[in-house]
Structure 1
Amino acid sequence: MAERFEQHAAYVLHSRPYRDTSLLVDFFTLEQGRVSAVVQGARRPGSRLRSILQPFVPIQIRWRGRQELKTLQQAEAVGTMMLLQGNALLCALYVNELLQRLLQPFDAHPRLYVYYQYVLNELLSGSDVEGGLRTFEHRLLHELGCLPALDTLDAAQLYQFHPEQGFLLATHPAEQDKPACFWGQHLQSIAVDDYAEPDVKRAAKRLMRLAIDHQLGGTPLRSRSLFKKM
């Protein structure tokens, strides 16, 4: 049976040298999730594909291969590169690294693809960078099944977050100062991605960091190191 070479909407997450003249590229695709592909000859001088396969550019790609590692056949840009600079660029690299590290190959998340486009637009506009990041982190963890339901919690209660068990009632109000403790009213706001209140933003940042670090298994993110250097 002949292979079908379908086109896929995608973004480049990360690329690295592969053998003498090729690249190994991780893509985030609309219908197939994270896909890795060899791009033959992409490091040769004058390669057309090398100029197309840049982060934060919407592209259409085709690949071949029956194994998990594909071979790229074609790539065409369908939009312009987002000119992200400074903190916005670092945040976008952080988002890409999260997808590269946490998504399993060929595990499709079309709704997350839309949220990825959303957070890039928020970073480009600069109107609410922190709210955009928290929304994306929340939706990523939700898609991966790594975050318990937040909208069913009692607004008046204090909860302690356990990555393996979810939210448990705190035993004493004095525990509110612990990093893993959250008020139910803040968690209800996070559930609907309402980050208008500073206290909610701070709670969301703590919660997402705890949940993401647990999924990473203690392995640090390169993008966080760049933040610290900056």
Structure 2
Amino acid sequence: MTEPELLPAFVLHTRPYRETSQLVDLFVASMGKISVVAKGSRSSRSSVKGLLQPFLPLHICYSGNSSLKTLSQLEARSAQIVLQGERLFSGLYLNELLYYLLEPDAEYPGLFSSYFQTLLALSNQQELVSPLLRQFELLLLQQLGYGSDFCYAADSGLPIDPACFYRYEPEAGFVTTALCNHSVFSGREIIGISEQDFSDENILAAARRFSRQAFAALLGNRPLKSRELYSAFIARRSE
């Protein structure tokens, strides 16, 4: 009898289900986001107790064709990726984006590998956090179908001019504006974002501003818990 295929996966979100089980949202290589029931996983005698946690590379197998599947096999494929401080909240932030924005059972080519590599980079204290987040955010927007045209203005069709200013409209792209305030972008910044020139602090800040605007349009009024936790963490550290 053929052994079932084990798929690489990460936990995005868990919640209790009935007396001893859990509902688990997983990000699965080649499968995207899926929801499963992990039967008996909260039981003291469960063989998978402690495995259903963020940042632990897993191999999983599941059964069922409905939107809610059953987890049938689970094992750790390597040690948990250790994130601390700002890097922990950054990882939780990525998980929230994936949990809220990925469509169930939809494939996102290359996104799983990028997520895995981003977590590994976040665990390396030599890597700067902000550029890693900006790179992943840009890829995620593209995979979701909301990637922006950083080369041409949406209103005129003309190439982005480094000397001009533009506002970002989520359903259109960058539109020329005569205004110059904290929410608009210079053409130089837009070109820098497209080239991911994040060694430039101004470009990096502009990329963060762009991502905030783009994801706000997708998330609506839904607050991100990771941002709240990070703000509380910074407040405690400054006391």
Q: TM-score, normalised by structure 1?
A: 0.92
Q: CA deviation at 1:176?
A: 2.3
The one-letter amino acid of 1:141's match is L
* Residues 36 and 178 (structure 1), Cα distance of their counterparts in 2 relative to 1, 3 Å cut: same
Mapped partners of 1:214, 1:169: distance in 2: 19
Mapped partners of 1:61, 1:69: distance in 2: 15
- Report the counterpart of residue 13 of structure 1 in structure 2: 12
- Report the counterpart of residue 180 of structure 2 in structure 1: 176
Aligned pairs (5 A) from 1:152-163: 152=152, 153-163=160-170
1:212 and 2:211 matched: no
1:65 and 2:64 matched: yes
Deviations 1:80-102 (A, max 9, x none): 10111111111100100100000
- Report the counterpart of residue 92 of structure 1 in structure 2: 91
* Residues 85 and 144 (structure 1), Cα distance of their counterparts in 2 relative to 1, 3 Å cut: same
CA RMSD of aligned residues (A): 1.4
Aligned pairs (5 A) from 1:143-154: 143-152=143-152, 153-154=160-161
Consecutive unaligned residues of structure 1, counting only runs of 5 or more, are: none
- Report the counterpart of residue 107 of structure 1 in structure 2: 106
Report the 3-state secondary structure (helix = DSSP H, G, I; strand = E; otherwise coil) of the residue aligned with 1:109: coil
- Report the counterpart of residue 202 of structure 1 in structure 2: 205
The one-letter amino acid of 1:106's match is D
Deviations 1:48-75 (A, max 9, x none): 2122222111111000011011000001
Q: CA deviation at 1:156?
A: 3.0
Percent of aligned positions that are identical:
38
Mapped partners of 2:118, 2:50: distance in 1: 24
1:28 and 2:32 matched: no
- Report the counterpart of residue 138 of structure 2 in structure 1: 138
The one-letter amino acid of 2:209's match is R
The one-letter amino acid of 1:22's match is S
1:50 and 2:49 matched: yes
Mapped partners of 1:106, 1:9: distance in 2: 15
Judging by fraction of residues, say which structure has more helix. 1
Mapped partners of 1:22, 1:50: distance in 2: 10
Residues 61, 75 of structure 1: 8 Å contact kept:
yes
Q: CA deviation at 1:42?
A: 0.2
Q: TM-score, normalised by structure 2?
A: 0.89
The one-letter amino acid of 1:135's match is Q
The one-letter amino acid of 1:20's match is E
Residues 168, 175 of structure 2: 8 Å contact kept:
yes
Deviations 1:171-221 (A, max 9, x none): x2xx22241x11122112212322000101110111000000110012111
Consecutive unaligned residues of structure 2, counting only runs of 5 or more, are: 153-159, 234-239
- Report the counterpart of residue 39 of structure 1 in structure 2: 38
Q: CA deviation at 1:111?
A: 1.0
